[in-house]
Amino acid sequence: MGEFSKFISPKRRSVPTPKHLVEDGKCVFGTFDKEFETMDFLSIKNPTEAPDFLNPIRLTLWEATEVHLKEGYMLTAVCNMGLFGVALTLFYDQRMRKLYRWQETLASHEAVISPNLINGSITHAQRKKLRVHYVNNFQDGKANVDGFFEGKDGTIDYNFELTRLSKPSVVSIPFAHPEERHRPLYTQKDFFQAKGYVTVNGKTYETTDDSTAIIDDHRGYYPREMHYDWATFMGKMNHKGKEMFFALNLTENQTVDPEDYNENLIWFENEVSILPPAKFTKDKPTIEFDGHARWHIQDEHDMVNLDFDLFQVFDMVTHALPVINIEYFIVFGEFNGYVRDENGEKYEFKHVPAMGEDKSVIF
């Protein structure tokens, strides 16, 4: 163990994954070493204040992929929020700082989220002018994502084969004290090498040996008033003259115990280094973005110290009182600063392309 490992809770060390995430109406919590075979969130008893027959409309599910190419970031996702679904694809041209966006609201049954991430399970959404399609074979460290979209920003189509580079991040986080209520937030995030292409308005961007991706599989019962922030980088880093695969995941959410239950870490090739909880502070609310904003992300032990300068923001803002209010932003920009691994080794960021999210929901 390194000199900074003392700041990491033992509960952040992965343990063998049980077959079932949910059993007898209760959920297991912690950090796990591989995929769950079953994740029957609808069978959890009393996960929210609402009666259990409303579980299907209180549960949020999504599968999203972020791909980092030399030219920028692409994101594609299928989300099922119970009352409705969303298909979303974005392409951020980091050289021009231009964001292309495609979004479609779906009926809940049109946003099909796979039951797990193994054995060819499928996440899918399709209409005449859109398709998002995942084939998940995480038991072999593989996945495929392809699709297309037509909209006011033109057309996009893509196809990527993904091969896992590192250990998975699999966490089940309590959003209520388990002795009072089993209200889980589960997420599995994996760091992949990407092979394939994306074509935006007839211009094709192909992957290179540096191209990487992260898949985020996400399921949970959020509190009625919910907020989280997230930021990531994925790709290669030149560290002390050596090119190395490197990815970073940082989130601040409503876990009841951030020290024991969070998802912050560094991915290296074949290895991870755990990070402690970190705080996001902002120079302005993201809804007031006016061409530039800055987030600062920092922990209490000098393992995370990053400025995140925002250059483009995708916004999905819905105020439909008294039913639901959503303020959801996907942000693109660059990191400056550093993170340290558990051995104290410092990894510096200078104008490194990054992306993130800022989401608030009242439901």
Model confidence pLDDT, tens digit, residues 280-293: 999 999 999 999 99
For the chain, residues with pLDDT lower than 70 are 320-323
**Rounded to an integer, what distance in angstroms lies between the CA atom of residue 173 and that of residue 49?**
18
pLDDT of residue 228: 96
Q: Which domains does the chain have, with CATH numbers?
A: 5-362 (2.40.370.10)
Model confidence pLDDT, tens digit, residues 213-229: 999 999 999 988 899 99
Model confidence pLDDT, tens digit, residues 95-119: 999 999 999 999 999 999 999 999 9
pLDDT of residue 323: 64
% of the chain at pLDDT higher than 70: 99
Residues 6+ apart with CB under 8 A from 40: 20, 21, 22
pLDDT of residue 190: 98
